[in-house]
Structure 1
Amino acid sequence: MKSYISAISSYLPNDILDNEELSKQFPDWSVEKIFDKTGISSRHIAGLNETCSDMAVSACENLFNENAISKAEIDCLLLCTQSPDYKLPTTACLVQNRLNLPISCAALDFNLGCSGYVYGLSLAKGLIESGQAKNILLVTSELYSKYIADGDKSVRTLFGDAATATLISGKNSDFDSIGPFVFGTDGSGADNLIVPHGGNKFPIDANSSVEYEDASGNVRSPKDLYMNGGEIFTFTLNSVPKSFNDLLIKAGYEKDDIDYVIFHQANKFMLEQLRKKCKISKDKFLTSYEFFGNTVSSTIPLGLKTAIDQNQFKSGDKIMLIGFGVGYSWAGTVINW
């Protein structure tokens, strides 16, 4: 039994934060400056009372409706998120119940960010090819906006919210449609992309909401998202090109064998530097960040969905996927369409 991607759908919140609105709040950053630095025109932002499970359920319902998929066939739900509804119970259990999936369905959360979709593909492949599941819902649902301070333009200009749902199924075949994989972890960089307060190490207290201003004029508190952009950029340029080459070697491919490449959609500047360093031609390098922003674990499946909607893929295409970011964590794979 081999695994393959059967269908992908998505959900985007109704509220949109565009560069015009950001420029009104931060007059020193014009609409043109924001776009030039990030390549992002707008991002979808979850509603005040919208949760991870709300977005996940909407993405899954879209998947079922758009592809005539029976819920009774789903035997495993994998939910990647860093913004769960509760510390416990597991958000995947809530989604299973709200979707009316069979109670024989396995369900679990896994906490990863920008590498999460590729890790999820690996988990799904292992479950299917070891005979533990036949039809897996791989869901990403991220609401980083809930962690971002209104006065922190460094991250408000970058991040958006989104959920995706991917059906991964098994078929009797000798041909691998997903894999191989490469992985990497360097926890020494954990403090460079972090929400400091809110976990057991630093529970929310009176100090958690005390705001401070950094050297660039960004205002945040310890309960808000902090990103050291320079360190993240250095980590990315060091790890991703090596993973790109390692994956080619592991898969037994030459660079020209790859038809398309979809990296985690961090921002325009970072992706262009990676494209040049990896020597990937523009026609093979797919981007989708302009109207979504950085949606963390949802960026790669949104990129796949965008390309599918534009009829870019044909049967037999080899598509390389690489996710990288918070953790530090990174992962790559090749899927055969």
Structure 2
Amino acid sequence: SVWPPVDAVVVDVGGVYERLAGVGLEYGPVFQGVRAAWRRGDEVFAEVALGEEQWAEAGRFGLHPALFDAALHMAGVGPEDEEPGPARLPFAWTGVSLCATGATELRVRLSPSGAEGISVLLADPDGVPVASVDSLVGRPVAAEQLTASSQLMFTVEWDRVATEGMQGAASQVQWAMIGSDDLGLTAALETAGQDVVTGPEPAALAGSPDVVLVTCASDPDSGAQDLPSTTRHLAHRALGVVRVWLGEERFAGSRLVVVTRGAVAAVSGEGVPDVAAAAVWGLVRSAQAEHPDRFVLVDVDDVSVSSGVLRAALGCGEPQVAVRSGKVLVPRLARAVAPAV
């Protein structure tokens, strides 16, 4: 509450961000929040603030990330006559407490904590506590490493795969559908002459079908107000089916195909209309990582899925597939291109 701190020496912050850039930490305008600083022995004090453009969004966070990040910047800046060491990135946090939300300005105290850490105390302009960290330990990283990592950013792109000859690969299989078929997959298969066994749950199926389909899609009329409950319902439903599937030895040679609609953005400009089903994708992807070749994820659009396209989607051998306008797409890593500024 006493500010500036008693017996503290003023630190010139005019070149703070140039010095940080010199060790590889380049901050954009939103993150350049240090306004003033002082030193008192091993302690560092600072004033940090958000720009006016960010004030309106501060209430969206417990503590705005740009403001919290700025509170740590003076930890990496030594005296001007001292040769700067390597950048240190946060590694281990201990004893983090949040006392107040929506801050746009902070008073900061950074002091040593243990052999390698610092403690962080944050207060508002009246000295009222906002947050504290008992210990934050950083790890050194060379500027060359930071530069190299910025050039190795990747994103996911969905590429079309040729499906000629793949329909036959999945045509002579035993099909089954569990639960309600909200996407009309059973009708598409039966129209093409495929026999489909149905049952409410995997345990209700006789024998060991080659492919078992289960749909996980939200009711398009449910509305955004039911999103949390719908997400829980679909995720719990999928988790229950996955657990039963893995617990039945007779399904060891079968594939469980989880079909969603609008749960991933697979083409340019496309959104994710079924956010609840997107959670199912995250859950099943985890199961795929632990149990390869046991699960397939297929996301469809509003176009009716034909039997041939469904068989082709399974015949391509990919664990994750999107069907858009009758075309089969699969995810691939691609080098990210920074947008022009």
TM-score (normalizing by structure 1): 0.25
Question: Relative CO higher for 1 or 2, CA cutoff 8 Å, sep ≥ 6?
Answer: 1
Q: Which structure: greater strand fraction?
A: 2
**Which structure has the bigger radius of gyration?**
2
TM-score (normalizing by structure 2): 0.25
Q: Which structure: greater helix fraction?
A: 1
